[in-house]
Structure 1
């Protein structure tokens, strides 16, 4: 690969030059050496299959449930050479997580997100390695492309959220209560007893959010966008696996201290 082409790749994918992990980088985001592969086919859920026998999935991307459009867009690239940059460790199926660039300069993940055919998400990784994809996603959302044709479900619409049980969703709403507990923190989007979303945050993820300036005080009454798979317990629940699961959309208002006691008996789950 020429120096010019590699510099262009680094600029597009947000990689350091040379391709190596910066001090303090998330382990899941540290890139391995760049290499060229020939795309042989597209497997289930967007799996990239290479002539070399390797398999990969695009990093920083949540593959959609209704994936005809996304698959068709990737199939157009079959037979082409792609430059791949593996990140972190392989997934549970032994597939690499990669950034991928075609000879004509198309970033495969960015192309899908820009067309509204996939959401920017860490997936199984511990961090969103390419946060700039969220800006690309915002543009697709404003243009109401693909996944964003319809208005997203509101966090206080329990009935709509229940219909999405087991599915990945991007939900917007205002946090009405923050309950910090020993094992996890609960973000409630409706008053106690009402039917609506609760987001659960593990202690580890809550510490990582705190390192980014988020806290019970700063999140109360803030309008946010949250993404993840919806489970149904007492009400609809999304487990926030990474800090990037939560995006603050406004400046909100200050919070009074959490009035609930140390037990979880009053928490909607």
Structure 2
């Protein structure tokens, strides 16, 4: 343990470097927002892996990785658990982030002291987890989306099959109740007093509709997006898929990504260097 404590400064600097994306991303969160504020780095030991990737530390603390969503697919979830379990007993540097989740588990960025392996970056880079804000308003580590894009381009893990098309109702219905990442051309944006609706099909078509709360839509607009700028664009959305008349999901502000040659995320060696090794 003495060696880990002695190296906390170096590890802390490495973790802090992860807070800043190494390539420009649209709507990157501000460091000062409550969900993304960080606490002091501390030394811990990985004791066990709980359900859906909960990390149990030798100190008794329960931690979940920030900016990461555990996979629903049983085979991928088993592989993700095995990836973490292989690091059982490892000395860690843990940086708390934001507020605990609804189960009072600490959110954190975590690196293995030996080799500085970043746990979230490693899982996402292997295609074993999604880069997602979960219950937070902001994705605190947007550079993880670049690592996810690289895993998707290489067909790793979760990305072995192509993403479902937002206009393919039958394919979406087969994924009801699961967290999905979907792409398609946005046909219409309907702004209402309490909600905004993003429609990926024409009226009556069996296609995805994304619902956005009034509060979230204000955040989306504050980031430079609007009904006019979204309609007709290729868009990637993510969330838990439900069926109500047709396929639908409710999106947070960081769950809506406008795609195109200029702003499609692409990962490269420089982007990934500080995220997984």
Mark yes or no: TM-score above 0.5: yes
Q: Partner of 2:257 in structure 1?
A: 247
Q: Partner of 1:181 in structure 2?
A: 192
CA distance in 2, matches of 1:95, 1:6: 21
1:77-100 CA-to-partner distances (Å, cap 9, x unmatched) read: 110111111111111111001100
Greater RCO (CA < 8 Å, at least 6 residues apart):
2
Q: Residue 58 of structure 1 is aligned with which of 36, 59, 65?
A: 65
CA contact (8 A) 1:13 1:99 kept: no
Find out whether 1:115 has 2:126 as its counterpart: yes
1:3-24 CA-to-partner distances (Å, cap 9, x unmatched) read: 3332222223449xxxxxx976
1:192-229 CA-to-partner distances (Å, cap 9, x unmatched) read: 00101000011111111111110000000000110000
Structure-2-length-normalised TM-score:
0.85
Q: Which runs of 5+ in 1 are unaligned?
A: 16-21, 253-269
Q: Residue 12 of structure 1 is aligned with which of 15, 18, 21?
A: 18
Deviation at 1:251, TM superposition (A): 7.6
Q: Partner of 1:212 in structure 2?
A: 223
Q: Which runs of 5+ in 2 are unaligned?
A: 22-28, 263-277
SS in 1 for 2:18: helix
Aligned positions, number:
245
CA distance in 2, matches of 1:183, 1:143: 40
Q: Partner of 1:255 in structure 2?
A: none
CA distance in 1, matches of 2:198, 2:18: 36
Q: Residue 87 of structure 2 is aligned with which of 67, 71, 77?
A: 77
Q: Residue 204 of structure 2 is aligned with which of 193, 197, 201?
A: 193
Deviation at 1:109, TM superposition (A): 0.2
CA distance in 2, matches of 1:29, 1:155: 30
Q: Partner of 2:178 in structure 1?
A: 167
CA contact (8 A) 2:11 2:116 kept: no
CA contact (8 A) 2:18 2:141 kept: no
RMSD between aligned alpha carbons? 1.7
1:220-261 CA-to-partner distances (Å, cap 9, x unmatched) read: 000011000001101000101x21101100289xxxxxxxxx
SS in 2 for 1:207: helix
1:156-212 CA-to-partner distances (Å, cap 9, x unmatched) read: 000111111110000000100010000010000000001010000111111111111
Deviation at 1:34, TM superposition (A): 1.1
Q: Partner of 1:130 in structure 2?
A: 141
Find out whether 1:41 has 2:48 as its counterpart: yes
